[in-house]
Amino acid sequence: MEIRFDGKTALVTGTGSGIGEAVALDLAASGAVVVVSDLTEDAAQKTVAKIIAAGGAAVAAYGDVADPAVVEAQIALAEQHGGLHLLVNNAGIGGPSAPTGAYPLDGWDRVIAVNLNAVFYGLRFGLPAMERAGGGAVVNMASILGSQGFAGSAAYVAAKHAVLGLTKTAAMEYGGKGIRVNAVGPAFIDTPLLSGFDKETRDWLISKHPVGRLGRSEEVSSLVLFLLSDRASFVTGSYHLVDGGYCAPKQRGLCPPIPPRPHLWRSRPRGYFRTRKSHDPPGLMIRPCPGPDRRTGWPGPEGMVYRKALALGGAPR
């Protein structure tokens, strides 16, 4: 079940190392011409050299993707090589670590500029280019922290949450034009971004992954290539975790069932579906209450009592 991208041109940002480098190498190995983007020319050229040595086709582009002019120029470069068909907005930084009330303002601005604004610029200039090419696919690199909080990382978490909103909005707008837009949420991947962590911190991070290790860049790349390929032709506007089970324990507690507690309802001066109590005021409107609904656990068919209580301003306590 080999995935091929022959005749297509891709732009991947943040390709100097880690996930971006893995995606660029895999795309080139699958037949795509890859525009390899990174902050510095040396980093971009290093990845280009690896692609060419492996028999692939690539061209280097460099500059700060927090600058919209840089992103626009890189999109134009891709169009010079056959049109933009595939886009991976991958560039990102970790940023400072500090409580929200003490987060450095310059750190906030920089993280938002790279992790959010650059993704918007990629979509802003890339989507029209894909329309001109007849369609395509986009993968925005989010994070597990696009759906979770993480103390000390206000800017990073805010940016990744926002990337998911951009992804869904763009998917809605361009789905009818043959362009799919998805997001990937890696957990902690063993890349240079984590190189500054001491052993104690790494061990703590590893303990948060049920598989008992950090992720590998090529594991993320495999998911990215699938989402870019025609095998995912019905997948758009969605967020895909590659997290070694990191989010599994947390998701169990997102929507706990509300226990049926109709006996704790507060009285209100309007009609409720329940039986009359001895302490009810004479003017309270009471309607007969059938037995509990088997599916919802609330009295009345289809949880009628519960919905009625919410509509009248009451709620179970």
User: What CATH number should be reported for the domain holding residue 187?
Assistant: 3.40.50.720
CB atoms within 10 A of CB 276: 12
User: Do 137 and 64 share a domain, yes or no?
Assistant: yes
Please tell me the predicted confidence (pLDDT) of residue 194: 79
Lay out the sheet containing 179-186: strands in order across: 57-62, 33-38, 9-12, 86-89, 136-141, 179-186, 239-242
DSSP assignment of the chain, as one string? -----TT-EEEESS-SSHHHHHHHHHHHHTT-EEEEEESSHHHHHHHHHHHHHTT-EEEEEES-TTSHHHHHHHHHHHHTTT---EEEE--------B-GGG--HHHHHHHHIIIIIHHHHHHHHHHHHHHHHT-EEEEEE--GGGTS--TTBHHHHHHHHHHHHHHHHHHHHHGGGTEEEEEEEE-SB-SGGGTT--HHHHHHHHHTSTTSS-B-HHHHHHHHHHHHSGGGTT--S-EEEESTTTTHHHHTTSSPPPPP-GGGPPP-SS-EES---TTS-TT--EE---PBPTTT-SBSGGGHHHHHHHHTT----
Residue 306 is a catalytic residue: no
User: Do 177 and 277 share a domain, yes or no?
Assistant: no
User: Do 174 and 301 share a domain, yes or no?
Assistant: no
pLDDT-derived band at 317, boundaries 50, 70, 90: very low
Q: In the chain, how many domains are there?
A: 2
Please tell me the predicted confidence (pLDDT) of residue 281: 56
pTM: 0.79
User: Do 137 and 177 share a domain, yes or no?
Assistant: yes
User: Do 125 and 199 share a domain, yes or no?
Assistant: yes
Please tell me the predicted confidence (pLDDT) of residue 197: 81
User: Do 189 and 264 share a domain, yes or no?
Assistant: no
Please tell me the predicted confidence (pLDDT) of residue 259: 46
Range of the domain at 127: 9-250
Domain end point (choices 213, 231, 250): 250
- Give the residue, 248 or 79, on which the prediction is more confident: 79
Query: Is 3 domain-assigned?
Result: no
Query: Is 1 domain-assigned?
Result: no
With 50 as the cut, is the pLDDT of residue 121 above it? yes
Query: Which residue in 62, 103, 121, 156 is the catalytic one?
Result: 156
